Amino acid sequence: MMRQYELVERVLKYDPKADEALLNRAYVYAMKAHGNQKRASGAPYFSHPLEVAAILTELKLDDATIATALLHDVIEDTDATRTEIDQMFGPEIGSLVDGLTKIKRLDLVSKRAEQAENFRKLLIAISTDIRVLLVKLADRLHNMRTLEHMKPESRQRNSEETLDIYAPLAGMMGMQALREELEDLAFRWLYPEAYEAVTDRLIEMRKHNRGLVEEIRQAIARKCADAGIAAETTGREKKPYAIWRKMENKQISLEQLSDIYGFRVIVDSIEDCYRVLGIVHTTWGTVPGRFKDYISAPKRNNYQSVHTTVYGPRHQRVELQIRTREMQHTAEFGIAAHALYKDQQYQATNGHDVEGADDSPYGRLRAMISSLLEAANPEEFLEHTKLELFHDQVFCFTPKGRLIALPRGATPLDFAYAVHTDIGNEAIAAYINGRHVPIDTHLRNGDEVVIETSKNHVRSAAWEAFAVTGRARAAIRRAAREAER
Ligand code: MN
């Protein structure tokens, strides 16, 4: 298990201004709170939040996110309360931990729910703070890495959820390495035979092609050097799940499988990207229909690169990605790449701003994610997934964390009737996330709703206009008739 000082040092290394005392406090608090609890593997429970925090240090996330990772299971699994977290760590971390607690409760509620249901949960998380989602993804990654200790049913369920929901989400957020690891772990448990066949074939091809990858890599590197371009060229084998998906989509067999290698050329400037492209295209024959310029037209998750495929040395099909160092950083870390940036730096490095974003860098990221979701282009993001976006419902919580699903446009009055008819009949106003609001306010995903009631209130039929659900409207009519009598 990682030591306390090791974790703190890791954070300080990329963020010297990080709050050391906060990290220490969170470490000790979570360790004590989980006490003697054990994981399915028999390891101390605390090793799990600690690993989750470690994963997030690889993404270089801020101190609040790391502290949240350490604390992410304490409210649900120990005696710790939200109030206590707020007092010890401040309301910012309190609300982040609360977000993760809500997601965890939803997991318990809807064990047998459809995939789309799961996706909605994530939407709720997104709507509060993007960091909740980053911690959730790291949480899922660690659980997937340790899946062998779980029962077969939960292995199956976790793997399905991971393939359908979390891996695509990581991709949507531009975090490719995270996506690939989640996919391969899930693939291994869901389709063990296919996984084995693909990895066996990979090993065989590796033996067969030994030298070829290096030969191609050197050929590209030499051409760049001849033109006086400083370039870093790497060759890379595709991941088992990506290969399998390709086989499924294109209906090809393992034997026909050829282009399992990809090459990447990293250069200093955009100009050099196009110069390398020119060299490659004039040296080798291009494969038609494979050229894509994501530099002049970046993907919605800010991914930038030039892609092309050529018939390279020994007439091998060679897939190439050409990009700058900055583009590489964004491609690797996605959303998290900008997590530590101050606003101005973020804009300067990013070039294009997000409309309607709030002032904080995280507000910006959140706005970016919601715009990704709203404009979800099936071809770009949801390819190969079963995800569906549902815009017709809002999910809200009681103060105790019970989930209330309502149609879009629903009000606290609908919420009150959904909880209990008596509460509905006595409802006069509400608090949404602690703010006093009128009874006809539209609810939004993730809202925590407290209903203000009055025993003396006499319901009139006019209140029907404040509700949208059939249940609430019928109950209002009934209460109004009784009141008249
Ligand atoms: Mn966890």
Q: Does domain 349-484 have CATH number 3.10.20.30?
A: yes
List 15, 19, 20, 77, catalytic entry: 77
DSSP state of 359: S
Q: What is the mean pLDDT of the chain?
A: 82
Given pLDDT bands bounded at 50, 70 and 90, which one contains residue 333?
Answer: confident
CATH architecture of 210-333: 2-Layer Sandwich (3.30)
Asked if the model's pLDDT at residue 378 lies above 50, the reply is no
Least confident of 183-187, 380-384, 410-414, 481-485: 380-384
Q: In Å, how far from its chain's centre is CA 59? A: 13
- Average pLDDT for 38-59: 94
**pLDDT tens digits along 174-183:** 788 899 999 9
Q: What is the pLDDT of residue 352?
A: 38
153 part of the active site: no
Asked if the model's pLDDT at residue 127 lies above 80, the reply is no
Asked if the model's pLDDT at residue 341 lies above 50, the reply is no
Asked if the model's pLDDT at residue 105 lies above 80, the reply is no
Asked if the model's pLDDT at residue 50 lies above 90, the reply is yes
Task: In whole angstroms, give the CA distance from residue 120 to residue 373.
Answer: 11
Asked if the model's pLDDT at residue 391 lies above 50, the reply is no
- Average pLDDT for 439-460: 88
| Span from the CA of 71 to the centroid of ligand 1 (angstroms) | 9
List 76, 86, 215, 293, catalytic entry: 76
Polymer length in residues for the chain: 485
| Span from the CA of 25 to the centroid of ligand 1 (angstroms) | 19
| Span from the CA of 162 to the centroid of ligand 1 (angstroms) | 14
pTM: 0.70
Share of the chain above pLDDT 70, in %: 81
Asked if the model's pLDDT at residue 244 lies above 50, the reply is yes
Given pLDDT bands bounded at 50, 70 and 90, which one contains residue 458?
Answer: confident
Identify the CATH assignment for 4-193 out of 1.10.3210.10, 2.40.50.140, 1.20.140.10, 2.70.98.10. Answer: 1.10.3210.10
- Average pLDDT for 27-38: 96
Of 225-229, 326-330, 352-356, 359-363, give the range with the top mean pLDDT: 225-229
Task: In whole angstroms, give the CA distance from residue 449 to residue 423.
Answer: 13
Report domain extents, the chain.
4-193, 210-333, 349-484
6 part of the active site: no
Backbone φ and ψ for 399, nearest 5 degrees, come out as -60, -25
Least confident of 14-18, 268-272, 349-353: 349-353
Strand partners, 393: 407
| Span from the CA of 54 to the centroid of ligand 1 (angstroms) | 13
Ion ligand 1 — residues with CB < 5 Å: 73, 139
| Span from the CA of 31 to the centroid of ligand 1 (angstroms) | 14
Task: In whole angstroms, give the CA distance from residue 126 to residue 131.
Answer: 8
| Span from the CA of 174 to the centroid of ligand 1 (angstroms) | 22
> Which pairing describes strands 317-324 and 306-311: parallel, antiparallel, or unpaired?
antiparallel
